[in-house]
Structure 1
């Protein structure tokens, strides 16, 4: 299996203009033809934007704050990664096809690659976005520890790739803007990572309203506690430590690294910051989407 994994680990393949892992590209037809159900809830993010955090929150909401129920399995089995296919493992599509409704589904796909059945069934969707500089830093460390990725090179080299959209799942700029525009026509709850860090209770209450769920304040407080970074970092069903070492090497960098806003200041040089900001303004021109890069 190691050899098979290595074959698909070091290469990104173009799928409709978006760089994707070769193992996903090889099975793309099963992703494209995936059958969503009307009561599915899709959780969509660009990588390293709080995916596991929001997934754990939603699973707790769906289980009325029952923490033990949410320890029933690892997060990647409770909220399957729809498009992921790994040699020797059940694909996300296969996991989901065997799940009872209502299903929680994770994706990193840009909006234009999402299977059409989600739009046809008018599924509810949560999109969580995080500021670009923190995403770039977090993604750089993730590239090193998650063995599916190509070698990231130096931080400078990786930053160039990130800015050019030559990383897995493509351009951050296109991703966040694409989902932002789509929210005008579909049931998409667009959530900002920084708002969640600043006032998680307020954002969870908005999320509950979107999900049409009532929850007593004490349960909301319980969810907030169990989904705090420090608690999740110690939770084997949420922190990916149960993932095999040849897939994720936590000794290189933990999956849950810092979970803060503004860590980019510890990584960017002044020159990199200035170049990034100039490029950012060009790429985000015309969008009403705005981020905080520190709190």
Structure 2
């Protein structure tokens, strides 16, 4: 299966208010089935705010579990079919729920951008392992901005200045960044099967983070195997890899910006003006004053 056919899409979707957050219909059209989704105890949910390292961690997990047992998957199946996007309802393609239900693999690796309060209940009831990846707000905003510019199924981002204001106001698809990262951080305090990772730590030392991930998953992956995975999931390798770089999706215009753009920490400095940065810091302090969650904006 090639993937969705987006040729019918002629206009970008409008933002809607849905279940208390900003959304677009592509992620709410199958809501009833999504909420009724039956997780299995060995499912692994990869949860992130958009553009925080989702594909990176999905690929690492895919290699950890199936790199040796099903190597042919690596060259024949795009990552979005190996790790279905649970809430997605895209044209001419099975829904995320259908794709997940038809996954032949054990464990099933499943991706979501839903904030913690909207994740289907069965994941918590089945005590599934959840891997959450968080990225500092400034780099996340920049990455999301470029993603919206090149992706026809996202709303029109406008210019950088108005985009940043909307990001601060929480008016982005999947809601406010602040609530998203804090929501999973709070959940982690009461739900022991949640592993909270930072994009910055992964960039700094991928091997160490893969090792921590293995230990959370209870995998005894040999060192040489882990090193191979670290190499294969290096940003530049993934950017070149047609099965992980999303270049097979017509809806994304790579002439505007590639799906995998830079994968760096601190690129926000090339986008924020001094005034924007001061305003953002002020607002950030207010938004994050009640959490113990701390981010690095450079490494």
Where does residue 44 of structure 2 map in the other structure? 41
Q: Which moved more, 1:31-40 or 1:75-84?
A: 31-40
What is the CA–CA distance in structure 1 between the aligned matches of 2:260 and 2:56, rounded to whole Å? Answer: 10
Where does residue 207 of structure 2 map in the other structure? 201
Where does residue 256 of structure 2 map in the other structure? 252
Is the aligned partner of 1:89 residue 2:93? Answer: yes
Q: Does the Cα contact within 8 Å between 2:150 and 2:254 map onto a contact in 1?
A: yes
RMSD between superposed Cα atoms in Å: 1.4
Gaps of 5+ in 2: none
List aligned pairs for 1:19-168, cutoff 5 A. 19-64=22-67, 68-100=72-104, 101-168=106-173
State the secondary structure of the residue aligned to 2:9.
helix
Structure 1 residues 65 and 193, CA, compared in 2 at 3 Å: closer, same or farther? farther
State the secondary structure of the residue aligned to 2:245.
coil
Give the Å deviation of 1:38.
Answer: 0.8
Gaps of 5+ in 1: none
What is the CA–CA distance in structure 1 between the aligned matches of 2:114 and 2:81, rounded to whole Å? Answer: 18
What is the CA–CA distance in structure 1 between the aligned matches of 2:131 and 2:205, rounded to whole Å? Answer: 17
What is the CA–CA distance in structure 1 between the aligned matches of 2:125 and 2:44, rounded to whole Å? Answer: 14
Q: Does the Cα contact within 8 Å between 1:162 and 1:171 map onto a contact in 2?
A: yes
Q: Does the Cα contact within 8 Å between 1:5 and 1:86 map onto a contact in 2?
A: no
Deviation >6 Å, runs of 4+: none
1:136-192 deviation line (CA, Å, top 9, x unaligned): 000000001111111111100000000001010010000000000001222100000
Q: Does the Cα contact within 8 Å between 2:44 and 2:110 map onto a contact in 1?
A: yes
TM-score w.r.t. structure 1 length? 0.96
TM-score w.r.t. structure 2 length? 0.94
What is the CA–CA distance in structure 2 between the aligned matches of 1:61 and 1:3, rounded to whole Å? Answer: 35
